[in-house]
């Protein structure tokens, strides 16, 4: 089972700033099978990125994903007020799928 470790646990930033979130896999994974989700309080998760770098339908282009092997990242180019939330990476290349523990992006 692949373990995903996200860092940092919490990111304190101001609106307009750039956010970079990290997701490290315990072994090399195909970038085809790495996704990112956003979860706002009291809401179900929402798919942002799949295949490491493909934006899901309706996701603004300020969200971008990159990476390969064991190191992946999600970048939010300029934080909007609605972007302050928790973000999870997800490996789905095999059963079981696994999620990272999450990174909370909070308002500084």
Partner 1 sequence: EVQLVQSGAEVKKPGESLKISCKGSGYSFTNYWIGWVRQMPGKGLEWMGIIYPGDSDTKYSPSFQGQVTISADRSISTAYLQWSTLKASDTAMYYCARPPRGNYWYFDLWGRGTLVTVSS
By the criterion CB under 8 A, which residues form the site for partner 1? 1, 32-33, 35, 37, 39, 44-47, 50-51, 56-57, 88, 90, 92, 95-102
Q: How far apart are the first and last CA of the chain?
A: 36
Residues 6+ apart with CB under 8 A from 54: 65
In angstroms, what is the minimal distance from the CB of 14 to partner 1? 25
Residues 6+ apart with CB under 8 A from 86: 38, 39, 40, 102, 103, 104, 105
Find out whether 93 and 85 touch, Cβ atoms under 8 Å: no
In angstroms, what is the minimal distance from the CB of 98 to partner 1? 6
Between 50 and 63, whose beta carbon lies closer to partner 1?
Answer: 50
Between 16 and 96, whose beta carbon lies closer to partner 1?
Answer: 96
Between 24 and 102, whose beta carbon lies closer to partner 1?
Answer: 102
In angstroms, what is the minimal distance from the CB of 81 to partner 1? 23
In sequence order, which ranges of the chain are alpha helices (DSSP H)?
none
């Amino acid at each position: 089972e692949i373990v995903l470790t996200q860092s940092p646990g919490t990111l304190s930033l101001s609106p307009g700033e750039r956010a970079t979130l990290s997701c490290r896999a315990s072994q090399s994974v195909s970038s085809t099978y790495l996704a990112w989700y956003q979860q706002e309080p009291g809401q179900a998760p929402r798919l942002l990125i799949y295949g490491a770098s493909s934006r899901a339908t309706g996701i603004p282009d300020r969200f971008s994903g990159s990476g390969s092997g064991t190191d992946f990242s999600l970048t939010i180019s300029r934080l909007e007020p609605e972007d302050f939330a928790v973000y999870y990476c997800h490996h789905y290349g095999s059963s079981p799928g696994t999620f990272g523990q999450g990174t909370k992006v909070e308002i500084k």
